[in-house]
Structure 1
Amino acid sequence: KAVVENEQLDSVILVGHSMAGGVIAEAAKLMPKKVKGIIGVDTSQNVALAFAQSDLDAMTKPFEEDFQKGMSVFVQGSLPKDVNTELLHWVTQDMASAPPAIAINQFRHYLGQYVSGKASQVYESVNVPVVLVNARLWPTNSEENKKHIKDYRIYYIEDSGHFPMLEKPNEFNTTLMEAVKSVK
């Protein structure tokens, strides 16, 4: 919101990758007259997904025990098996360079919404198109999403992992422009 106000923008489409899917939904609620749509990139696969605190604890344990190793395993599982090794190394180094305490706290906070059931609630007062540009690495439950998102559509980047903008930049850019044009 601060950037939109500082730049004196009257009309924006917000784009967010991964955990930023929920962030752009929250931002849209803060600026209902300025945000014309939100585009999530490999995010919001199932906004109604629910899991227990013990599941969240199990997911964060590898990061808490050895952040570098945990991040390496996470990134490797987020990319296709045949991913370019340079890209794998770069993404791993980039993500592992985050301060562990901050990264783990953000991860816990974000995924905590799925424990509390608040992940779908963020969309209750979002009254603009919500467009996803997702990979198929983690299945997207569009039927469930449609129950919680008023104006929902999805595009897929085939044969990609969690970072389609890095793995398939040309296809991603073309699909992102289609998503932008779909926001009326």
Structure 2
Amino acid sequence: MLDSAFDLGEHLELRKLSYNLSNVLWSKWDINEFDLSFGNWQKTKYLNDTNDGLNINISTIPSDRGGLYLFYLNCKTIIGITEMPLYIGRAQFSEHQNLKKRVKEYFLKYSRNDERPKITKMFKYWSADLYLAYYVLNQNEDVVSIEKKLINSLLLPMNDEIPDQETRQAIKAF
């Protein structure tokens, strides 16, 4: 696999992620109107076994609804404790957009180019362990509101835009 300590070091450095673990932000954004417990999200491996196409379960995602989606890594070392969230996004339901279409776009559009470098990195380094969780919501206003609150409170490593100006300025300052 890797021939030397240098190769291993390079491998590890390229896969380094930064998380901001802030209980202040976790409690700042009220999302109590929905039970967002991870057990209430639908989950599937994102790619097929050869990582060159979508997992068959992606076809079961609703195309007549909007909602939230979360890309996460699922490490099998300690089952249930090593699920690491990477990116949270949203799909509003409209004539041109829906939950299934939006999650498929990541593989079709972003997995192999540099349009969104962090998303490309996510696929390049972790495709074999990349999973998708989604949470169906009926109202587009809820989709937008909850996604903003989740991004602002979790600050996941693959999300570029922080909607809250105060949080964004604090991150830039330090």
| Normalised TM-score (structure 2) | 0.28
Which has a greater percent of helix? Answer: 1
